[in-house]
Chain A
Amino acid sequence: MRISAATGRILGRLGGAARFAAVVAFTFLGLLAITFFIGRVVPIDPVLSVVGDRATNEVYEAARKAMGLDRPLVVQFFAYVWDVLTGDLGQSISTGRPVVQDLIRVFPATLEMATIGILIGVLLGVPMGVTAATRQGSFSDQIIRVLGLLGYSVPAFWLGLVGLAVFYAGLGWVAGPGRIDFFYDGMVDPVTGLYLVDSLIAGETEIFWNAVSHLLLPSFILGFFSLAYIARMTRSFMLDQLSQEYVTTARVKGVPEWKVVWRHAFYPIRIQLITVIGLSYASLLEGSVMIETVFSWPGIGNYLTTALLNADMNAVLGATLVIGAVFIFINKMSDVLYRILDPRAR
């Protein structure tokens, strides 16, 4: 009896995994369709943007053939999917290198900033949300409500500029734009591409602290936005939990209040929180586009905006695809984690 139930559960989970894979694959295909649509269909004439408007008819036709634009759209689409799957995102006209190589080079910078940002958001946001919920209507609750609303109404790029003016130019607490002071540039071997890790591997603590000083402000600004969202969601989840009967049960048992809050009210929502944190992390990757532009941070966001201004479509689409793919992956992953971790869903 029990064995068959267990087998059923495993089969159910395998089926779930297959379903998950199908959903992710389908969504990726959708993403590809959108980037394909943006790259090949929306511009009036993609050939013209490559050869320029002074090209002769022969050159134009040759380019059209070379780009495969004489084939039916469906065929073109599958060719595009094949290219992407084999890691070919085309050449960037501004750097002259394959877009894939560029992206691999710039991605660690974004990853480093977004990761520190989400750490700040989680480590401050979750306790703030819990505090606000346990003291509903108190001063700290009001502060968190205001912070939450500001998170929805302050432009990230503006906050970045103001932050630079105040903390870099005004107070001198942090270093300015860029990942590192220019005279340290290239002094550490890029192993992981994460300066914090690389400088420690090389044993260069001075460079490590310089990198920290550069990372602090942009990460805190990114972190503020995830903090606002995470604290707001934590608060509303906790309010819901604290009104549950089983929280009263715990109080009836004489369980100390901190345990009532953390073990009985918080523990059940940790799974929902994982979803929120995942979504927040994904949106930090997106938010980094603006922040990186302001801080001249050589990450994927900066790469994307530079490409935008140079009308470098291959680079734009490549960066869009990578950010989109990571976004979708984190998004769907947190969905799955939810199902695996919640005993009620087993």
Chain B
Amino acid sequence: MAVTYRDWLLDDSPSSRLQAGLGRSYRVSMALARNPLAVAGALIILTLILMAAFAPWIAPYSATGQDLTNRLMPPSAQHWMGTDELGRDIFSRIIHGSRITLMIVTMVALISAPIGLVVGAVSGYFGGSTDRIMMGLTDIFLSMPKLILALAFVAALGPGIENAIIAIAITAWPVYARIARAETMTFRDAEFIAAVQLQGASSTRIILRHVLPLCASSTIVRVTLDMAGIILTAAGLGFLGLGAQPPLPEWGAMISRGRNFILDQWWVATMPGFAIILVSLGFCFLGDGLRDVLDPKQENKQ
């Protein structure tokens, strides 16, 4: 065969959107594969996803099954990470807990990123007073302490995992609005936007079909980098008893339970902490790698 798949993917003048899209993903993944930290991050996250998907099959014990004769057992061959105060296997609980962590980060990203993108793109596209008002509001949210705001929202909404997700999402969107606006401003006056306008496309159509896709890559980078912060906030809410409620094996709540035994049975509180650190680091590594590939100019921004 004269033309390999690789050549087709790397074609400089792709003949369809699909080919262009696949080619781009191929180039990005090739560049990522050359960065060992990014690969490590991707592997950690892949493991997290697999763990969440197959939790009941992977976990050696049930997440909620109590065994009061085996309370607070140190790590051993039977219980790799020991057991908690109700005799539950901590390793199994951590595996099941990955489902909760994954759900929280996914939901927060799915709620806050689109809100931020739309606010930012609309603001940047229309400019003028629309821009001033929307960015004024965004700036107010941006200059608030995120964790405190999330705490206050949960206090008003009531504890629980759904409310924690809503509260975190409310505090997370302004960053994406800023990014989307900055991106939109750079190509708002570009020829191709003018061309679509001349064809009579509506503003909604232009924003949805032409502006938002171009903001996507920098937003993806930012969302990946923010994941660690989201995980930490969610765990913090869980630790304070405001997030996932017992007996759910949420990692922050598990640390909170282990607090009473920290001096003698260190593993109860420590093990879930390692899980949080590992997953957060995974997102950091991947985010750093993605940024280097997709958006090198963001290096210094926080």
The answer to whether A and B touch in the complex, with CB atoms under 8 Å apart, is yes
Contact call A308/B240, Cβ cutoff below 8 A: yes
CA distance A317 to B153 in the complex (A): 10
Contact partners of B288 in chain A: CB under 8 A: 149
Contact check, B241 vs A161: say whether CB atoms are below 8 A apart: no
Interface status of A313 (Cβ within 8 A of chain B) = yes
Give the bracket for the number of chain B residues in contact with chain A: 35 or more
New A-B pairs, 19, CB < 8 Å, besides A26-B136, A165-B262 = A34-B144, A38-B155, A42-B157, A152-B228, A152-B284, A154-B280, A158-B273, A158-B277, A240-B300, A286-B145, A286-B148, A290-B147, A305-B151, A307-B155, A316-B155, A324-B148, A327-B144, A328-B143, A328-B144
A-B contact pairs, 6 of them (CB 8 A): A30-B140, A42-B156, A155-B252, A237-B300, A290-B236, A309-B240
Task: Determine the distance from Cα of A153 to Cα of B101 in the docked complex, in whole angstroms.
Answer: 14
Which residues of chain B have C-beta atoms less than 8 A from A307's C-beta? 155
Find out whether the CB atom of B229 lies under 8 angstroms from the CB atom of A152: yes
Q: Which of B152, B255, B283 is the most central at the interface, judged by chain A CB atoms within 10 Å of its CB? A: B152
Interface residues of A in 106-154 (CB under 8 A from B): 149-150, 152-154
A227 proximal to B (CB < 8 A):
no
Docked CA distance A229–B277 (Å):
17
Chain B, 280-295, CB within 8 A of any chain A CB? 280-281, 283-285, 288
User: Is B139 among interface residues, defined by CB-CB distance under 8 A?
Assistant: yes
| C-alpha spacing A304/B149, complex, angstroms | 12
- Which residues of chain B are near A289, meaning CB under 8 Å? 147-148, 151
Is chain A's binding surface mostly helix, strand, loop or mixed? helix
CB distance from B23 to the nearest CB of A (A): 31
A: which residues have CB within 8 A of B? 26-27, 30-31, 34-35, 38-39, 42-43, 149-150, 152-158, 161-162, 164-165, 169, 229, 233, 236-237, 240, 282-283, 285-287, 289-290, 293-294, 304-305, 307-309, 311, 313, 316-317, 319-320, 323-324, 327-328, 331-332
B299 within 8 A of A: yes
Task: With A165-B266, A305-B240 as known contacts, state yes or no: A157 contacts B255, CB within 8 Å.
Answer: yes
Max chain A Cβ within 10 angstroms of own Cβ: one of B141, B148, B240, B252: B148
Among the listed A30, A155, A294, A304, which residue makes an inter-chain contact with B148, where contact means beta carbons less than 8 Å apart?
A304
Residues in chain A near residue B232, CB distance under 8 A? 153, 155-156
* Interfacial chain A residues near B277, Cβ < 8 Å: 150, 153-155, 158
Which B residues contact A (CB, under 8 angstroms)? 136-137, 139-141, 143-149, 151-157, 228-229, 232, 235-236, 239-242, 252, 255, 258-259, 262-263, 266, 269-270, 273, 276-277, 280-281, 283-285, 288, 299-300, 302
A286-B146, A290-B239 in contact; A26/B140 too (CB < 8 A)? yes
What separation, in Å, do the CA atoms of A42 and B163 have in the docked complex? Answer: 12
Which residues on B sit within 8 Å (CB–CB) of A287?
A: 147
CA distance A319 to B281 in the complex (A): 32
Q: Which residues of B contact A158 (CB under 8 A)?
A: 255, 269-270, 273, 276-277
| A38 vs B151: C-alpha distance when bound (angstroms) | 11
Q: How far is the CB of A74 from chain B (nearest CB, A)?
A: 18
B198 to chain A, nearest CB (A): 39
- Asked if B262 contacts A152 (CB within 8 A), the reply is no
Please judge, given known A-B contacts A27-B140, A42-B157, A153-B281, whether A34 and B262 are in contact too, CB under 8 Å: no
Partner of A308, one of B242, B259, B269, B281: B242
Smallest distance from the beta carbon of B109 to chain A beta carbons, Å?
A: 17
**Chain B neighbourhood of A164, CB < 8 A:** 262-263
CA–CA, A68 to B26, complex, Å?
Answer: 62
> In the assembled complex, which residues on chain A have CB atoms less than 8 Å from the CB atom of B242?
308
Chain B residues within an 8 Å CB radius of A327: 143-145, 148
Q: In the complex, which of the residues B151, B236, B259 contacts A320, with contact meaning CB atoms closer than 8 Å?
A: B151
Residues of B with C-beta under 8 A to A39: 156
- State whether A236 touches B236 (Cβ < 8 A): no
